[in-house]
Amino acid sequence: MFSLADYDFHARYACEALMLLQPQLEVEGLYRRDQDFVIHCPALTNNLTTLDGTSLVEWFAESCRPMGSPIRLLAYVPKGYKFVPLRTNAQRASLHGEPLNGFDFAREFQTWLLDDFPLVGFESGGGYVIVNVSRPLSEAEQTQVNTAARSLGMPVEVRLKKNSLNEPQATRKYVLKPESVSLSLPSAKVVKNKYSNRLAALYEEDEDFWISNRETIFYPQDVANVNVLKEAFSLNRPACFIDASVFPPHNIRSYLPLYHRIIMAMPLKERLATALQQLNVSQDDLIELVRIGRVQFVLPLPLHRYDLNFIELITESAPEAFLFSRRLAAASIVESHKRLPFMYPPFTVEEKQHFLKPFFEVESLQFKKVAQTIAESLGKSWVNLEYGWNNQGAMASIYGGIGTLLGNLIYILSNQDIRIELDSASASVQWAAALGATYCSFNTGSYSDYGAASLCASLYSGVKNQPTVHPIDKLSPLVENALTLNNDAPVLEINEVFTTGDIERLHKLLINKQAMAHPQAFLNDLNDKVRRFEVKQDRLTRLDIMGLGGAAAAGAITGNAYVPFGVWLLQYVLKNADPSRDLGGKVLDWCRGLNTFTSPNAVLVSRLRNKLSR
């Protein structure tokens, strides 16, 4: 059993947070004697301050150290204290030693228990987490408890609670209910009795996949060999991504002639009827499009936030048409490893601090504020990186992506606060990239995320490693003449007329005009098919090539090489890092060994105009 004597009281987390949030500080290690911990900071004085000028000692006690953790900052190591190594990557990935609330602990603990474990609930008291059970445990069940306790680094005590199963569930502490309004993902053990066996099995498979692979997802040895998407979502065919969860989608006929697969973030249950109206499609026709593989869904939010009856109908004929939150999270992280390697570097905390240090040693007044903002943003994202993705799945993209960094940079440079808009848009761009899809922005009439998404996509895809970007004006007039639908024609007939070959040829044209013989003849034929369905010509819409993500699209269309923003960042670290501080040269070797942007899928942001261009 993992006992109180082994418990680190979240001291290792506190030391790691200090090193990442104040990377300019010299930290020589964590030390322990019994239940007292100290962090050795050789330069510590009463006047030492944080980056924003706050007293370091006060900031650490009030804003960094987990409540109740017996840990202090000292300029020396007291006699009798022994060195404590920080957590390994594997421990952080599995939330070992992470400050968890009761619900977090319950979810993580239950992943180690088999279905027939007689669990009642959890309580806290006396420095232990109390596991209440309905009967005495067998030897095998006690082993499950011990394994879970060691994995999470928490001292656990098991107590028998008679007649506990007759209590109302509301009295059982720390069991996250599926109807919770929180973004936290509930354990499969909690939801298994709430959904059909088929749906519960799909949800459990998603959780099992994450638990089994999260260390490799966070810290891959070779990201090129990590494939986390289901086969149905790995098809190399033109796809678009639409966030229909709360935002209004276009008429589905605007997408069908252009993309083989339409991937949607499923509308929330209170939004489903409205979304069907905006898509201008019946529920039955939409389910049929799902069955034949033209429509797929991702569910980034907890399952209970969606219309379960609608989901159950789809699972009957197309169970592979769903990507649940954890699998989408895994795909997002893996793709970001390729595009923005600095967001998820495979380093220990000590190495991450070394990576950030050069940004605080910038002397140029012009770049100093930018450099420090980059380092502060990265440090904050790394502190709770593993916890956020474990807790919220794909929704962690909102505050763990490029949008947060970009929003902070824009704020300090222009004093414009668009961080909320960029956080939301960057999540959609990140999901689209992970799915190999074009992101189709939304427009409510009063707000469109097109600008925010384009900006995120440009940084996510890469910046030109040349002083100028080649114009695409020669291609633009050709593709601007491609028409698409915005009517009420039968969607299943549209699916039959606009063949896979038409869609793939159109995308070949977008990628490389020269790869097609007689592109204008092809477009004329495609437009003829569109006109057959549309009686009123003023309801036609045009595909606007300039809406395909600016710099991001230019690289994909013209074939020019782009260097990701992250690689530029690594070049800066290589130039300014102090090799003498690099632990074994790992940071510098990693920076030198990274390839430039090699993912075959460019992030594109498409905009479909509502009116015919005159």
Give yes or no: residues 278 and 374 share one domain. Answer: yes
Count CB-CB contacts under 10 A for residue 379. 21
Asked, for residue 196, whether it belongs to a domain, the answer is no
Report the greatest alpha carbon distance in the chain. 87
Inter-axis angle of helices 349-356 and 586-593, nearest 10: 70
**CA 66 – CA 440 distance, rounded (Å):** 42
Give yes or no: residues 238 and 284 share one domain. Answer: yes
* Closest of 397, 399, 402 to residue 458, by C-alpha: 402
Name residue 251's beta-bridge partners: none
Q: How open is the CA angle 503-508-509, to the nearest 5 degrees?
A: 100
pTM: 0.84
Amino acid code (one letter) for 351: E
- 3 state DSSP class of 4: helix
pLDDT digits (tens, 9 = 90+) for 326-362: 999 999 999 888 777 788 888 899 999 988 888 888 7
**CA 198 – CA 37 distance, rounded (Å):** 49
Asked, for residue 197, whether it belongs to a domain, the answer is no
**CA 122 – CA 354 distance, rounded (Å):** 40
Give yes or no: residues 141 and 72 share one domain. Answer: no
pLDDT digits (tens, 9 = 90+) for 34-76: 999 999 999 998 889 998 889 999 999 999 999 889 999 999 9
CB-based burial of residue 387 (10 Å sphere; 0-12 exposed, 13-18 middle, 19+ buried)?
middle
Contact 572, 378 (CB under 8 A): no
**CA 55 – CA 62 distance, rounded (Å):** 11
Question: 441-474: buried (b, 16+ CB within 10 Å) or exposed (e) per residue?
Answer: bbeeeeeebbbbbbbbbbbbbbbbeeeeeeebee
Query: Residue 562: its pLDDT value, please?
Result: 41
Query: Taken in order 430, 432, 438, 439, is the CA torsion positive or negative?
Result: negative
Give yes or no: residues 175 and 236 share one domain. Answer: no
Mean pLDDT throughout 182-192? 85
**CA 199 – CA 315 distance, rounded (Å):** 7
Q: Is a pLDDT exceeding 60 seen at residue 598?
A: no
Q: Is a pLDDT exceeding 80 seen at residue 263?
A: yes
Q: Is a pLDDT exceeding 70 seen at residue 543?
A: no
Name which residue leads in pLDDT, 238 or 7. Answer: 7
Query: Residue 580: its pLDDT value, please?
Result: 61
Q: How open is the CA angle 335-214-261, to the nearest 5 degrees?
A: 40
pLDDT digits (tens, 9 = 90+) for 63-114: 999 988 999 999 999 999 999 999 999 999 999 999 998 888 988 999 999 8
Give yes or no: residues 299 and 359 share one domain. Answer: yes
Give yes or no: residues 66 and 104 share one domain. Answer: no
Domain end, chosen from 86, 115, 138, is at 86
* Closest of 432, 476, 439, 45 to residue 249, by C-alpha: 439
* Closest of 177, 126, 90 to residue 7, by C-alpha: 126
Q: Which pLDDT band, with edges at 50, 70 and 90, does 546 fall under?
A: very low
Q: Which pLDDT band, with edges at 50, 70 and 90, does 573 fall under?
A: low
Query: Taken in order 559, 564, 565, 569, is the CA torsion positive or negative?
Result: negative
Contact 242, 262 (CB under 8 A): yes
Name the range with the highest mean pLDDT among 3-17, 250-264, 299-313, 487-501.
Answer: 299-313
Mean pLDDT throughout 539-548? 50
Q: Is a pLDDT exceeding 80 seen at residue 522?
A: no
Q: Is a pLDDT exceeding 50 seen at residue 602?
A: no
* Closest of 503, 588, 600 to residue 555, by C-alpha: 600
Domain count, the chain: 3
Query: Residue 124: its pLDDT value, please?
Result: 78
Give yes or no: residues 282 and 163 share one domain. Answer: no
Q: Is a pLDDT exceeding 70 seen at residue 163?
A: no
Dihedral of CA atoms 401, 402, 405, 406 in degrees, nearest 10, equals -140
Asked, for residue 204, whether it belongs to a domain, the answer is no
Give yes or no: residues 377 and 279 share one domain. Answer: yes
Give yes or no: residues 167 and 76 share one domain. Answer: no
Query: Residue 578: its pLDDT value, please?
Result: 61
Contact 295, 288 (CB under 8 A): no
Q: Is a pLDDT exceeding 50 seen at residue 597?
A: no
As given in the structure block, the two tokens for residue 133 are 């059970």
Name which residue leads in pLDDT, 10 or 363. Answer: 10
Mean pLDDT throughout 115-122? 89
Domain end, chosen from 86, 105, 135, is at 86
pLDDT digits (tens, 9 = 90+) for 415-433: 888 888 888 888 998 998 8
Count CB-CB contacts under 10 A for residue 128. 18
Asked, for residue 373, whether it belongs to a domain, the answer is yes
Q: Which pLDDT band, with edges at 50, 70 and 90, does 585 fall under?
A: low
Asked, for residue 189, whether it belongs to a domain, the answer is no
Give yes or no: residues 178 and 252 share one domain. Answer: no
Residue 247 lies in domain: 219-614
DSSP 8-state symbol, 64: I
Q: Tell me which residue has tokens 């414009």.
A: 416
- 3 state DSSP class of 533: helix
Cβ neighbours of residue 383 under 8 Å, at least 6 residues apart? 16, 17, 20, 21
pLDDT digits (tens, 9 = 90+) for 281-319: 999 999 999 999 999 999 999 998 999 999 999 998 899
**CA 594 – CA 607 distance, rounded (Å):** 33
Asked, for residue 273, whether it belongs to a domain, the answer is yes
Query: Taken in order 37, 40, 46, 52, is the CA torsion positive or negative?
Result: negative
Q: Is a pLDDT exceeding 50 seen at residue 20?
A: yes
Asked, for residue 192, whether it belongs to a domain, the answer is no
Name residue 73's beta-bridge partners: 39
**CA 510 – CA 513 distance, rounded (Å):** 7
As given in the structure block, the two tokens for residue 69 are 């953790």
Query: Residue 177: its pLDDT value, please?
Result: 58
Q: Is a pLDDT exceeding 60 seen at residue 492?
A: yes
Query: Residue 594: its pLDDT value, please?
Result: 56
Q: Which pLDDT band, with edges at 50, 70 and 90, does 595 fall under?
A: very low
Helix (H) or strand (E) holding 424: helix 419-434
Asked, for residue 199, whether it belongs to a domain, the answer is no
Query: Residue 600: its pLDDT value, please?
Result: 37
Mean pLDDT throughout 604-613? 38
Q: Which long-range contacts (CB under 8 A, 24 or more apart) does 314-318 make?
A: 314/287, 314/290, 315/196, 315/198, 315/199, 315/202, 316/198, 317/287, 317/290, 317/291, 318/290, 318/291, 318/293
Give yes or no: residues 156 and 249 share one domain. Answer: no
pLDDT digits (tens, 9 = 90+) for 191-242: 887 888 999 999 999 999 999 999 999 998 877 667 889 889 987 788 889 9
Q: Is a pLDDT exceeding 90 seen at residue 323?
A: yes
Domain end, chosen from 70, 86, 102, is at 86
Q: Which pLDDT band, with edges at 50, 70 and 90, does 582 fall under?
A: low
Helix (H) or strand (E) holding 84: strand 82-84
Dihedral of CA atoms 477, 480, 483, 486 in degrees, nearest 10, equals -160
Give yes or no: residues 369 and 447 share one domain. Answer: yes
* Closest of 414, 411, 337 to residue 374, by C-alpha: 411
Q: Is a pLDDT exceeding 60 seen at residue 604?
A: no
Q: Is a pLDDT exceeding 80 seen at residue 401?
A: no
Name which residue leads in pLDDT, 29 or 485. Answer: 29
As given in the structure block, the two tokens for residue 39 are 């962090």
pLDDT digits (tens, 9 = 90+) for 464-485: 333 222 333 344 444 456 666 6
Q: Is a pLDDT exceeding 90 seen at residue 514?
A: no
**CA 444 – CA 448 distance, rounded (Å):** 6
Mean pLDDT of the chain: 79
